[in-house]
A and B are shown apart, each in its own frame.
Chain A
Amino acid sequence: MIKLRNVHKTYAGAQPLHVLKGIDLDIAEGELVSIMGASGSGKSTLLNILGILDDYDEGEYHLAGTLIKNLSETRAAEYRNRMIGFIFQSFNLISFKTAVENVELPLFYQGVSRRKRHQMAMDELEKMGLTDWAAHYPNEMSGGQRQRVAIARALVTRPQIILADEPTGALDSKTGIEVMELLKRLNREEHITMIIVTHDPNVAAQTNRIIRIKDGVIE
């Protein structure tokens, strides 16, 4: 599913920062992996590259058989929209939209008709057990609920992979465990490839494979 070959990334600046120094990585379909590393190790950069949020300088990145390199902004947006679902630490829901509107948003950008995307978003919220909360705004919900809305939003486009950046980082331990259970169940039942970036060993322990990154290389 994911194939990285000798990927390098340098941030330009007064003092160029060589963040990724030749990453080789293979992730198969249906895997649940975690990426761990100290801050500054390059794990966020790796996630950005995996999520087509950022470009890399050298090497090759294949996502579901497609070479992802030097894409135009428009193509990148399209791939992100169709292939990748994002889950962020701070949920990143749009505050002035209701839960269901937030979940609808990726479909809106795909050009799915109004009625259909509403139906799909409601279905997704139902799976998360949030049907009653569909018309509520993010600030009326608890952290766990917000993260579940964000997960619904990530899943609604049926992406090939889910990228989660510290999905439990902003949650208390109990809700964190619930969210992790949810992610694991999705991986198990719907065979969605899932990559979780974390520095929490407890979270990492629940995944099939742990990828440790240090100083820009995989250990």
Chain B
Amino acid sequence: MKIDLDTYHELLQTLLRNKTRSFLTGFGVFWGVFMLVALMGGGAGMKELLNNNFAGFATNSAIIFEQQTTKPYHGFRKGRWWTLTTGDMDRLREQVPQLDVISPIASKWGVQAVNGENKFNANVKGLLPEYAKVEAPTLFYGRFLNDMDIAQQRKVCVIGKRVYKTLFPKGGDPCGQMIRLDSAYYTVIGVDYKESNMNINGSSDEAISIPLSLMQRAFNMGQSIDLIAITARPGVAISDITPRIREVIARGHDIDPTDEKAVTVFNTEVLFGLLDSLFSGVDLLIWLVGIGTLLAGAIGVSNIMMVTVKERTTEIGIRRAIGATPRVILSQIISESILLTAVSGMSGIVFAVLILQMMEMGFTEDGIVKSHFQVSFWTAIGAAVLLAALGVLAGLAPAGRAMSIKPVDAMREE
């Protein structure tokens, strides 16, 4: 087609001749694109928001904890209570080489932490430094527990965000200051700002972490621990080694190795797998709905163009009589279709980007973006290309009909 101002003038003229119809037809495409882009951005944003809840948590991990036995074994009747001990850790380390991190947790609820006049009912956790590999802390000040803290049983602690805010209302770096837990004083060595909602034994912002060995002595716990968090080495699925883990622990406590209740292995892998498939499902749905709506819009354009061509039979016939080649007619109809889809589609993209930007701003706190709703530049370009293609497709059938109009038909139409 020749590049000529009048070519565009003609396109506009024909589309504007029936403003309401063009607008309503365009709205179908507009809405389709808006849905597709907004859903894509919104879906990605929601996914990120949800994932934030699990941030810092190892995905191939499991938690082992004790419950009453449910099977009689070695002369013990069922329903017996037992406790995990530090010995179980060593046994696991020796006998299950597929395990990477083995981190025990002992905890005590409702311990009063005091700093001057400020008090907080905290949840004290006894941990080993390795625990950071299961649930990574977000340290705002200071450091996490290290091996020397354990070896020397130093009276140090890492405090959670809410503990810090309550005990140190003036803010500032609390490291090196002492706080009292029950009757003993501990030096603060770090502040954990982790906000994830995936926690072991209580929310981490209300927790005070101290060395495990110290915990067991200070709170008279002996060798007992509450649970063991483990992660598998890369490439090993927790579910594959679960029976082996259970067997090793059960043997040390005279428990039936098939007693799944007594030695409970809570596999987070399953949880993450579930989430993953949930998100793939949501993604699929988004694409189905988005593309479906967009297609419906394009079919609407095609339909209206069909009607328009029918209406314009005489006009097209006149054009053919005075020298328009079929190609000219073809490109005119297809151009009209592309223009209509492109203009309405672009407005759809712009509107969706605007809405997504507003959502992103709504989820931004203190200048920190919590979740990215905005679609990427290339997604937008892709959507635009898709639109142009749809425009051509939508114009094909009507253009075909317009091409088949012979000048003579137009004369007869009158």
**Closest B residue by C-beta to A108:** B6
Known: A94-B318, A114-B6. A109 touches B324 (CB 8 A): yes
**Closest A residue by C-beta to B327:** A74
| In contact, A77 and B6 (Cβ under 8 angstroms) | no
Shortest Cβ gap from A86 to chain B (Å) = 6
**Closest B residue by C-beta to A52:** B407
**Closest B residue by C-beta to A73:** B326
B151 interface residue (CB < 8 Å to A): no
| In contact, B323 and A110 (Cβ under 8 angstroms) | yes
| In contact, A78 and B323 (Cβ under 8 angstroms) | yes
Number of interface residues of B (CB under 8 A): 25
| In contact, B411 and A88 (Cβ under 8 angstroms) | yes
Residues of B within 8 A of A82 (CB): 323
| In contact, A54 and B327 (Cβ under 8 angstroms) | no
* A86, B17: Cα distance in complex, Å: 26
A81 interface residue (CB < 8 Å to B): yes
**Closest A residue by C-beta to B322:** A106
A201 interface residue (CB < 8 Å to B): no
Number of interface residues of A (CB under 8 A): 30
* A97, B322: Cα distance in complex, Å: 15
* A57, B327: Cα distance in complex, Å: 25
B366 interface residue (CB < 8 Å to A): no
Shortest Cβ gap from A191 to chain B (Å) = 22
Known: A53-B407, A94-B318, A96-B13. A114 touches B4 (CB 8 A): yes
Residues of A within 8 A of B2 (CB): 111
| In contact, B408 and A54 (Cβ under 8 angstroms) | yes
* Residues 303-317 of B at the A interface (beta carbon under 8 Å): 314-315
Known: A48-B408, A77-B320. A109 touches B325 (CB 8 A): yes
| In contact, B322 and A80 (Cβ under 8 angstroms) | yes
Residues of B within 8 A of A94 (CB): 315, 318-319
* A103-124 interface code vs B (CB 8 A; 1 in, 0 out): 0111011110010000000000
B414 interface residue (CB < 8 Å to A): yes
Interface residues of chain B: helix, strand, loop or mixed (majority): helix
* A148-189 interface code vs B (CB 8 A; 1 in, 0 out): 000001000100000000000000000000000000000000
**Closest A residue by C-beta to B321:** A86
| In contact, B328 and A109 (Cβ under 8 angstroms) | yes
* A108, B332: Cα distance in complex, Å: 13
A42 interface residue (CB < 8 Å to B): no
* A130, B289: Cα distance in complex, Å: 57
Residues of B within 8 A of A108 (CB): 4, 6
**Closest A residue by C-beta to B326:** A73
**Closest B residue by C-beta to A163:** B321
| In contact, A105 and B322 (Cβ under 8 angstroms) | yes
A216 interface residue (CB < 8 Å to B): no
Residues of B within 8 A of A86 (CB): 321-322
| In contact, A74 and B322 (Cβ under 8 angstroms) | no
B184 interface residue (CB < 8 Å to A): no
B5 interface residue (CB < 8 Å to A): yes
B406 interface residue (CB < 8 Å to A): yes
| In contact, B323 and A106 (Cβ under 8 angstroms) | yes
Shortest Cβ gap from A27 to chain B (Å) = 20
A41 interface residue (CB < 8 Å to B): no
Top 5 A-B residue pairs of the complex, sorted by shortest distance between their CB atoms: A81-B323, A109-B323, A77-B325, A53-B407, A74-B325
Interface contacts beyond A81-B323, A153-B322: sample of 13 additional A-B pairs, CB < 8 Å, sorted by A: A51-B321, A73-B326, A74-B327, A77-B324, A77-B325, A80-B321, A80-B407, A92-B321, A96-B13, A96-B14, A106-B322, A110-B323, A114-B5
Q: Which residues of B contact A (CB under 8 A)?
A: 2, 4-6, 13-14, 17, 314-315, 318-328, 406-408, 411, 414
